[in-house]
Amino acid sequence: AGDPRLAMPRQRYGSEFLVGTVADPTASQEENDLWEQSLRLLVETLEPLYPEAEAVVAGVPLAEARAESRRGPVVDAFRKRVIQQMIYATDGFETPDQLDEYLTTLQTDKRLLKWLGLLERTALEAEALQAEIRLRQKEAEDAPPRSRQANDAQDAIRAAYDRTRGLDVRIRTALSAARDNFGDQLDAYKEFGDALDAINPFKMFR
């Protein structure tokens, strides 16, 4: 809606569409009359559509504003969920404010988008595993003691916990990219590689 190129064209009125129309000399009078009637009916149908289109276009900014107002809380809620998984993965050794700062770095440094994607995907996987653990714990509580159902539930809980440890490692890896200024290190490696290329006499043969 904010793009000036996306604007309504000038309104055309029915009389403009009829300007320059002439009878077909190769057709009969009856055929020309039918063509003229059809054209006038078409023009009468088109002309009222412009105000309707204007009303629809005018509603686009409001629709975008409503969508944006809904998007904000959704993004904030997801951000809080990701930070919660970061807290779990770091065992409380990093403060929530520090983790929030690391997440902001990952979101704003284009060089670190790969690690942001890793963090977000892993956070969702961790949430799913935590939900599975809660479900299996409920099954274990409801099952008869020392029954097969109870044993199966306990096995599933242990397996899920083992998988969460691997996810914790992935989350900490993403955090280290932000904490250790990995974007700057990537730039330094690139500059070093470019410098080697500049003095390498065999570069042309690669």
Q: How many residues does the chain have?
A: 206
Residue 38 pLDDT: 85
Q: Which residues of the chain have pLDDT under 50?
A: 186, 188-189, 192, 205-206
DSSP states along 10-34: PP--HHHHHTT----TTS-HHHHHH
Which of 57, 50, 72 minimizes the C-alpha distance to 3? Answer: 57
Residue 193 pLDDT: 54
Residue 123 pLDDT: 94
CB 89 within 8 A of CB 171: yes
C-alpha torsion 114→120→121→126, nearest 10: 140
Residue 147 pLDDT: 92
Residue 85 pLDDT: 95
